[in-house]
Amino acid sequence: MRDFGYARAGTAEAAAGALAGPGTAVIAGGTELLNWFRLGIAAPDRVVDIGGLDGLRGIAVQHHELRIGALATLNEVGEHPLVIQTAGALASACLQAASAQIRNRATIGGNVLQRTRCPYFRAEEPLPWPCNKRDPGSGCTSLVGRHERQAIFGWTRDCVAVQPSDPAVALAVLDAQADVLGPAGPRAIPMREFHLTQREAAAAGEPMRETRLEPGELITGYRLPVSPSGQAYVKVRERASYEYAIVSAAATVRLDARAAGAREPRAAGAREPRAAGAREQGLITAARIALGSVAQRPWRLTAAEAELPGTPLTREALTPVIERAMADAAPLPQNGFKVTMACNAAVRALLAAGGAS
């Protein structure tokens, strides 16, 4: 590890100003940045600590929006009554994101900025193989090596990695906006557009760029519209704790109350009592669905969202809609199973959000 300078920011504006300088990184919880130091992914000359900025904390509902400060920890977000009540998919995603110890430190502002878990990217220096993210122009070892956990959407031959954040998937499906502050002042970035696929980055002339943050910009918080829709987050992983998703899915569902009988939407993870016998399911009036760990950004199934209104909330009716929306998937030789797995996760999330699981 290299020596570096350390300073504590007194204001968000001061932190953003410091970030505008070369060789400067921001630290909050530190659960990701310190790993970058250890592996040689990052070696800044100066680190600015924003952990003492109380103005970037807090969770509240204001003007029909849920507002979450960037320094709120994953446990604070996942366990907060307002989040559970108004953004249940996000609460569930935060609580499934990591171990309890890490969730006590990791912030929701930092979580969406974590880098890929690709094993070729995460190797310690000196890097024993080519990786365009670590050594631009050297090549992508995963493309010709192991890639069963890699992208099925938006990848290029320069990189096939995925974005691993759980909260990012929920934020994308809930139409959240990230409030950012930088040298040009404050602005908002829709979370469904915050990350870039490799194809999008290449089209912009910056093939290794991963987000729409400009140099010197800092996430200060998130704003989510309060919605009466039911919500759910489904994470498929190899073990039930402290593991990154193979695929994940977040969904919101609004049903026709006349067909299904009026009922309150439920928070993600809460189970409904089931009546004896088969219960008639309602028709979907609106739905949103986002997939995680299938691309370098959360992947909204917009074609399915357009087709789902009027669809019965049954597995038999939902599956062909999701399968058609997955038609653009481009799996690699070793990860074709992720297409089926993502389809099944999306159907599960829709059923859970509608109260049918």
Q: Enter the pTM of the model.
A: 0.93
Task: Please state, in angstroms and as integers, the Cα–Cα distance from residue 83 to each residue in 86, 196, 255, following that order.
Answer: 5, 27, 21
Cα three-residue angle 315-174-235, rounded to 5 degrees:
50
Q: Which residues contact 332 (CB under 8 A, 6 or more apart)?
A: 143, 147, 150, 151, 152, 155, 160
DSSP 297: S
Which residue in 232, 225, 193, 244 sits closest to 318, CA to CA? 232
Task: Please state, in angstroms and as integers, the Cα–Cα distance from residue 14 to each residue in 19, 50, 149, 188, following that order.
Answer: 9, 10, 39, 19
Task: Please state, in angstroms and as integers, the Cα–Cα distance from residue 127 to each residue in 147, 210, 225, following that order.
Answer: 18, 21, 44
Cα three-residue angle 339-342-346, rounded to 5 degrees:
140
User: Mean pLDDT over all residues of the chain?
Assistant: 93
How far, in Å, CA of 218 to CA of 26, rounded?
9
pLDDT at 242: 81
pLDDT at 274: 39
Cross-strand bridge partners of residue 186: 181
pLDDT for 267 beyond 60: no
How far is residue 215 CA from its own chain's centroid?
A: 21
Strands 299-300 and 284-292: antiparallel
pLDDT at 276: 34
pLDDT for 259 beyond 70: no
**Structural domains of the chain ordered from first start:** 54-114+163-225 (3.30.465.10), 230-263+278-353 (3.30.390.50)
pLDDT for 281 beyond 70: no
Tokens (6 digits) for 269: 């993870």
Query: What are residue 167's phi and psi, to 5 degrees?
Result: -55, -30
Cross-strand bridge partners of residue 60: 67
Q: Which residues contact 34 (CB under 8 A, 6 or more apart)?
A: none
pLDDT tens-digit map of 118-166: 999 999 999 999 999 999 999 999 999 999 999 999 999 999 999 999 9
Strand, helix or coil at 352? helix
Q: Which residues contact 128 (CB under 8 A, 6 or more apart)?
A: none
pLDDT tens-digit map of 189-206: 999 999 999 999 999 999
pLDDT for 264 beyond 80: no
pLDDT tens-digit map of 56-96: 999 999 999 999 999 999 999 999 999 999 999 999 999 99
Q: Are residues 103 and 73 in contact, defined by beta-carbon separation less than 8 angstroms?
A: yes
